Amino acid sequence: MENENRVDEYLQRIELNRPNNISDEEYLIQLHIGHLTHIPFETFDLIDLKELNIELDYIFERLVRQKRGGVCYQMNGLFAFILQNFNYKVQLIPCGVYWNDKDDYFDDYSHLAICVTLKNGEQFLCDVGFSMDSLTPLFFRKDCIQYATNGFYRLTKMNDQLYYKLEQGYLKKDVQFPLSSTFQTSIVDIDPECISWRNSYRFRINFAEKSTKLEDFQSTCPYIVHSPDVFLNHYTVCHLHTCQPTIGVGAYAISGKEYCEWIYKDGHMIRTLTPLSTDESELKQLLKEKFNLIIERKIELVN
């Protein structure tokens, strides 16, 4: 009964009803979009309080009842819990985030993603905790290009034959390509050279051989909080996807000391940047209006 009540609270948080005469795939898409457009990815406590608690009770209290956001372990940990309560088959995936400065990847437990298997056997890669997430779940299929409403994605086997890597991309400036406007991931037949790609993360091909639990990521938390190599502990990030008729598909974000707005249109990304005021009251007003975040304590932006 407690879990049922928690599910109802979560659905109220993301403004979604329980499923009614729709497929499990359709409802998975609704849950994915609902989470990304209502619960922000944010690093304020990671920076200011040097805190990263990934116990489920704490995550639920913070993200649902206190209406805060979180980072990958918290966001995907909560999402996996909700999916399990709707009888989706869930497998947590330990991932290594791409390290741009070294052209390499962080430890395999530096990120958490989710493999979801439907009743018909179809598998999806879900991730609501990467900041630059796919708006809709990705098909768990390699060697194809997928369009997920807010960008292109591809999952490929790395040369070492041990890992899959996920890449994200947008159409190059002068490229035009017809795309579906439906809120559903589609596989598209397009020359990959038409897309500007960036690495997201990698994970082991045999990840399903091990039953990974949320607590398995606990030992990595001190590294995420304190290591100078992890930019999330010394660079302000607050990111919330948008998916509204009047605004379209895009995102609001605070990145360092700048406010950003993204619009995704016809496979292209359009971004506007605005320097943020140092006035704390203005910052808190922005957090409330754009991210539905209310933080009572003093906060400072870190660049």
Mean pLDDT over 46-62 rounds to 96
pLDDT the model gives residue 247: 67
What are the strands, taking DSSP E only, across 140-227? 145-147, 152-157, 163-171, 186-188, 195-204
Per-residue pLDDT tens over the stretch 163-216: 999 999 999 989 999 887 788 999 999 999 999 999 999 999 999 999 999 999
Q: Cα–Cα distance between 248 and 113 in angstroms, integer?
A: 26
Q: What is the pLDDT of residue 99?
A: 92
Residue 169: the pLDDT is: 96
pLDDT at 4: 85
pLDDT, tens only, 221-272:
999 999 999 999 999 999 999 987 666 799 999 999 999 999 998 899 999 9
Q: What is the pLDDT of residues 120-168, one digit of tens each?
A: 999 999 999 998 889 999 999 999 999 999 999 999 999 999 999 999 9
pLDDT tens digit sequence for 276-303: 988 899 999 999 999 999 998 998 899 8
* 46 sits in which H/E element: helix 44-48
Distance from C-alpha of 302 to C-alpha of 291, rounded to nearest angstrom: 18
